[in-house]
């Protein structure tokens, strides 16, 4: 029996969690065990990102607003996973917001990222309005809300770390976001504009931490795109 458990352990550790469709494979995994994990990411401003570790986990942290100038109004603090592109996916990540409490206190997830003026992002904030706690598209013009369903806001102070799941299906346009409760989405949007692209994490202009990333997809590509933020650092 012990031998069987040992043989099965690698498969059990990499088994897809609930909510991942059949045929999806693990496309990217990051537990931030050491500072080298930062090398996976391309950020708007590397000077405001660092690696850290507490008693339970490793993480990367953005601790100040990036010195970065967007082409069209969109978030400042972005760190993209540099080497992987996906179209349809289920993403799991743990987020911690480290800033002060106010209406737009936020953390963001970026996805189907084409370039710095073409991407989606989900803004999880304390209070919802047309510029906060919604799903947005940046399509060569200032970010535009695309959510058709959202809660009144998210209480970041309710616990240190928050478990987030994001489901994306390009053909149907589905975008569903779950926080802590993996059965009931806090936001829903529908948009088919962008397909294969990179994913990332950050904030509009706040501070926070990212840990335990798991990305599942039916298909993934090695990204050959370079650094999309060069012009914004000039």
* Confidence at residue 12, expressed as pLDDT on a 0 to 100 scale: 46
pTM given for the model: 0.93
* Confidence at residue 14, expressed as pLDDT on a 0 to 100 scale: 60
CATH of domain 29-221: 2.60.120.560
Q: Where are the domains positioned within the chain?
A: 29-221
Q: Which residues on neighbouring strands pair with residue 58, listed in sequence order?
A: 53
* Confidence at residue 19, expressed as pLDDT on a 0 to 100 scale: 85
Closest of 161, 88, 164, 87 to residue 123, by C-alpha: 164
List per-residue pLDDT tens for the chain, 234 residues long: 444 444 444 444 567 898 899 999 999 999 999 999 999 999 999 999 999 999 999 999 999 999 999 999 999 999 999 999 999 999 999 999 999 999 899 999 999 999 999 999 999 999 999 999 999 999 999 999 999 999 999 999 999 999 999 999 999 999 999 999 999 999 999 999 999 999 999 999 999 999 999 999 999 999 988 999 999 998
* Confidence at residue 11, expressed as pLDDT on a 0 to 100 scale: 44
List, in order, residues 6 or more apart from 101 with CB less than 8 Å away. Answer: 126, 156, 157
* Confidence at residue 16, expressed as pLDDT on a 0 to 100 scale: 87
* Confidence at residue 13, expressed as pLDDT on a 0 to 100 scale: 52
């Amino acid at each position: 029996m012990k031998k069987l458990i040992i043989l099965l352990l690698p498969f059990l550790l990499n088994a897809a969690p609930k909510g991942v469709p059949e045929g999806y494979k693990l496309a990217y995994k990051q537990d931030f065990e050491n500072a080298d994990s930062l090398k996976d990411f391309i950020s708007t401003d590397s000077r405001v990102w660092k690696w850290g570790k507490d008693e339970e986990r490793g993480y990367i942290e953005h601790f100040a607003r990036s010195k970065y100038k967007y082409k069209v109004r969109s978030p400042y603090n972005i760190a993209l996973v540099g080497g992987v592109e996906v179209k349809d996916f289920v993403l799991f990540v743990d987020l911690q917001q480290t800033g002060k409490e106010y209406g737009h206190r936020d953390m963001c997830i970026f996805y189907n990222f084409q370039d710095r003026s073409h991407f989606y992002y989900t803004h999880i904030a304390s209070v919802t309005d047309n510029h906060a706690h919604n799903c947005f598209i940046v399509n060569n013009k200032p970010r535009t809300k695309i959510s058709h369903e959202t809660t009144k806001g998210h209480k970041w102070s309710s616990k240190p770390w928050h478990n987030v799941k994001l489901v994306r299906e390009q053909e149907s346009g589905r975008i569903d976001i779950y926080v802590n409760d993996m059965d009931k989405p806090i936001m829903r949007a529908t948009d088919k504009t962008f397909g294969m692209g990179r994913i990332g994490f950050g904030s509009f202009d706040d501070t926070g931490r990212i840990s335990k990333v798991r990305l599942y997809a039916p298909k993934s590509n090695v990204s050959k795109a370079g650094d999309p933020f060069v012009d914004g650092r000039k």
